[in-house]
């Protein structure tokens, strides 16, 4: 995006300014122009002085020292009245000229996106601003008492397999016929990221669907933290009665991640009272937690007993087959082609849980969409390197020297020796090149590690290796192989 220039008082001046900028852009090239000069704003001509502002002192100083003379010369060529160009910091207001708001706010920092930045919506509470890599699966948003339902989490999008089929069946049953005997309360439990929240949302979606046979029912669904937050807020505003009545008036109460209530005695107590009141009134309760009721140590015995007296269903760790099914379903919905190899790779590498598995796939798809690149195995390893590798290796110059010597079968001492035979000199140059690429050491320091050579020798080696790599593909492969070995 080019900075729109405010129109100075004289239209002629604006035209001259456009020509000055155009010439300057031609002279310095697009990249330099965008980096340094794009944000110049013409203020006007006063006496013999043209005033131009830049949005920061640094840019002002940089432009002054690097382009100041050219600007003066170009202006003098355009307008004989101009003697001097005054570069100033800020949008000082002489002739109501302001840089466009967005440019001023973003500067070059965020403006260069692959496509124009999406306007950041006023995301008021209750609006779903989450980007889901797979668009098109969004549905109209729906709020229940407690907050918004997650549009991604429906029964349809839940991939069923051996580890979760029982929990899935129980959830469906509760959604179809709440408060059936033996299913109240429904207690879903399992490790993190295995789909508890997904099933909870799916139940709530179904129950509140206006097309539901028998009509929608009223649902309060919130996380334990949210329950706690609202309860404490009610105490503060002395409206606990309203809070209680509100919760006791619903048909179905759903609480996610109950384990977070442990240790919060007052809140736990309140939850228990609400729980009892609802069960006594024949209402459905659905609760999720990371452990079974009997393993939730810290909860009072009577609470544990009541939680476990309905249906308790667990979600097991995923199997390879389930992971593949999940990935295939997810990729199909996203509408981005993902090679089977990539899905298998992910299913092998990311075994911890569904959230991380889906997270990884979402990242690949979002990356592919944002940069317009295909999803490949190489891209996957690159994009996900932070989770696939425990840490990025910090390579030392000594290691580089050792690897390179081994590769070309020369003595390690030759890395710092004075020998200039090509068989020794070339590997030494490659090692210098790799030291420059893979470490943050300064060139003189790299030189020191190679037998106290001068930094100009290192510079020469770096450019020589780059030249050779450009013309000799087998040499380039050697260097790339070494780099990969060092980095892995």
Give, as ranges, the residues between 58 and 77 that touch another protein (CB under 8 A). Answer: 58-59, 61-62, 65
CB atoms within 10 A of CB 124: 7
* Among 12-20, 113-121, 163-171, 473-481, the segment contacting another protein (CB under 8 A): 113-121
**Chain centroid to CA 167:** 31
DSSP state of 177: S
Q: Which is nearer to another protein, 112 or 467 (CB)?
A: 112
In order, the DSSP letters of 280-314 are HTT-EEEEEESS-GGG-BTB-HHHHHHHTTSEEEE
From residue 144, alpha-carbon distances to 24, 141, 219, 240, 258 in Å are 59, 10, 6, 20, 19
Residues 437-476 interacting with another protein (rule: CB under 8 A): 439-445, 455
* Among 118-126, 166-174, 400-408, 412-420, the segment contacting another protein (CB under 8 A): 118-126
Provide the minimum distance between the beta carbon of 181 and another protein in the complex, in angstroms, as a whole number.
33
Determine if 358 is a binding residue for another protein (CB under 8 A). Answer: yes
Torsion angle of C-alpha atoms 242, 245, 250, 252, degrees rounded to 10 = 100
Contact 90, 58 (CB under 8 A): no
Q: Which is nearer to another protein, 86 or 467 (CB)?
A: 86
Q: Which is nearer to another protein, 4 or 472 (CB)?
A: 4
Alpha helices in 160-264 (DSSP H): 165-176, 196-207, 224-236, 240-248
In order, the DSSP letters of 382-409 are HHTHHHHSSS-----HHHHHHHHHHHHT
Q: Which is nearer to another protein, 301 or 392 (CB)?
A: 392
Provide the minimum distance between the beta carbon of 475 and another protein in the complex, in angstroms, as a whole number.
24
**Chain centroid to CA 86:** 43
DSSP state of 29: -
Comparing CA positions, the residue from 89, 71, 99 lying closest to residue 2 is 99
Kindly state the tokens that stand for 322.
Answer: 């389930």
Q: Which is nearer to another protein, 111 or 234 (CB)?
A: 111
Peptide bond between residue 185 and the one before it cis (omega within 30 degrees of 0): yes
Q: Which is nearer to another protein, 50 or 424 (CB)?
A: 50
Instruction: Tell me the β-bridge partners of 54.
Output: 89
Contact 171, 202 (CB under 8 A): yes
Provide the minimum distance between the beta carbon of 281 and another protein in the complex, in angstroms, as a whole number.
27
Task: Name which position in 72, 362, 376, 416 contacts another protein (CB under 8 A).
Answer: 362
Residues 150-169 interacting with another protein (rule: CB under 8 A): none
Provide the minimum distance between the beta carbon of 422 and another protein in the complex, in angstroms, as a whole number.
28
How far is residue 293's CA from residue 275's CA, in Å, rounded to a whole number? 15
How many residues belong to the site for another protein (CB under 8 A)?
92
Residues 2-61 interacting with another protein (rule: CB under 8 A): 35, 39, 46-49, 54-59, 61
Task: Name which position in 80, 211, 392, 418 contacts another protein (CB under 8 A).
Answer: 392
Provide the minimum distance between the beta carbon of 222 and another protein in the complex, in angstroms, as a whole number.
9
Provide the minimum distance between the beta carbon of 241 and another protein in the complex, in angstroms, as a whole number.
22
Q: Which is nearer to another protein, 39 or 79 (CB)?
A: 39
Contact 187, 306 (CB under 8 A): no
Determine if 114 is a binding residue for another protein (CB under 8 A). Answer: yes
How far is residue 408's CA from residue 429's CA, in Å, rounded to a whole number? 12
Kindly state the tokens that stand for 14.
Answer: 């604006």
Task: Name which position in 11, 80, 125, 215 contacts another protein (CB under 8 A).
Answer: 125
Determine if 347 is a binding residue for another protein (CB under 8 A). Answer: no
List CB contacts of 133: < 8 A, sequence separation 6 or more.
Answer: 334, 336, 361, 362, 363, 365, 366, 369
Determine if 124 is a binding residue for another protein (CB under 8 A). Answer: yes
DSSP state of 476: H
Residues 292-331 interacting with another protein (rule: CB under 8 A): none
DSSP state of 72: H
Q: Which residue has the tokens 């789909």?
A: 195
Determine if 108 is a binding residue for another protein (CB under 8 A). Answer: yes
Provide the minimum distance between the beta carbon of 320 and another protein in the complex, in angstroms, as a whole number.
15
Q: Which residue has the tokens 């202006």?
A: 75
* Among 10-18, 270-278, 313-321, 433-441, the segment contacting another protein (CB under 8 A): 433-441
Residues 184-203 interacting with another protein (rule: CB under 8 A): 191-193
Q: Which is nearer to another protein, 55 or 427 (CB)?
A: 55
Provide the minimum distance between the beta carbon of 131 and another protein in the complex, in angstroms, as a whole number.
5
Comparing CA positions, the residue from 209, 188, 186, 185 lying closest to residue 198 is 188
Q: Which is nearer to another protein, 92 or 470 (CB)?
A: 92
Task: Name which position in 15, 18, 110, 281 contacts another protein (CB under 8 A).
Answer: 110
* Among 129-137, 239-247, 280-288, 294-302, the segment contacting another protein (CB under 8 A): 129-137
Provide the minimum distance between the beta carbon of 99 and another protein in the complex, in angstroms, as a whole number.
9
């Amino acid at each position: 995006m080019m900075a729109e220039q405010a129109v100075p008082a004289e239209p002629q001046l604006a035209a001259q300014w456009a020509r000055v900028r155009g010439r300057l852009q031609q002279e310095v090239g697009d990249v330099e122009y965008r980096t340094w000069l794009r944000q110049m704003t013409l203020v006007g001509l006063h006496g013999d002085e043209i005033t131009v502002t830049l949005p920061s002192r640094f840019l002002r100083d940089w432009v002054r020292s690097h382009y100041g003379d050219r600007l003066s010369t170009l202006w003098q060529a355009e307008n004989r009245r101009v003697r001097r160009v005054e570069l100033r910091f800020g949008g000082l207001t002489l002739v109501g000229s302001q840089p466009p708001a967005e440019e001023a706010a973003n500067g070059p920092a965020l403006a260069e996106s692959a496509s124009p930045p999406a306007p950041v919506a006023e995301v008021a509470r209750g609006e779903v601003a989450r980007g889901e890599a797979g668009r098109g699966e969004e549905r109209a948003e729906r709020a229940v008492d407690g907050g918004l339902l997650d549009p991604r989490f429906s029964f349809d999008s839940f991939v069923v397999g051996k580890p979760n089929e029982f929990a899935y069946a129980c959830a469906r049953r509760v959604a179809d016929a709440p408060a059936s005997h033996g299913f109240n309360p429904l207690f879903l439990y399992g490790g993190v990221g295995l789909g508890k929240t997904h099933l909870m949302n799916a139940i709530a979606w179904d129950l509140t669907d206006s097309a539901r046979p028998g009509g929608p029912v009223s649902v309060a669904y919130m996380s334990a933290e949210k329950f706690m937050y609202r309860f404490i807020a009610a105490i503060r505003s002395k409206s606990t009665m309203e809070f209680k009545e509100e919760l006791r008036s619903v048909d179905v109460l759903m609480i996610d991640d109950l384990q977070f209530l442990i240790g919060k005695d007052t809140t736990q107590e309140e939850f228990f009272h609400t729980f009892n009141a609802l069960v006594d009134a024949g209402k459905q309760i659905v609760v999720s937690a990371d452990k079974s009721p009997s393993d939730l140590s810290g909860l009072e015995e009577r609470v544990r007993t009541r939680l476990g007296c309905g249906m308790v269903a667990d979600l097991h760790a995923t199997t390879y087959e389930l992971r593949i099914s999940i990935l295939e379903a997810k990729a199909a919905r996203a509408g981005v082609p993902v090679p089977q190899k990539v899905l298998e790779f992910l299913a092998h590498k990311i075994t911890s849980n569904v959230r991380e598995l889906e997270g990884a796939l979402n990242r690949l798809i979002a990356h592919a969409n944002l940069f317009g690149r295909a999803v490949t195995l190489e891209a996957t390893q690159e994009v996900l390197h932070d989770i696939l590798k425990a840490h990025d290796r910090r390579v030392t110059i000594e290691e580089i020297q050792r690897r390179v010597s081994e590769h070309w079968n020369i003595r390690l001492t030759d890395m710092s020796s004075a020998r200039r035979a090509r068989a020794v000199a070339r590997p030494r140059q490659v090692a210098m090149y790799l030291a420059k690429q893979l470490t943050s050491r300064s060139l003189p320091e790299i030189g020191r590690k190679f037998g106290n050579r001068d930094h100009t020798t290192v510079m020469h080696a770096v450019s020589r290796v780059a030249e050779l790599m450009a013309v000799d593909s087998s040499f380039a492969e050697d260097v790339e192989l070494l780099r990969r070995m060092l980095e892995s």
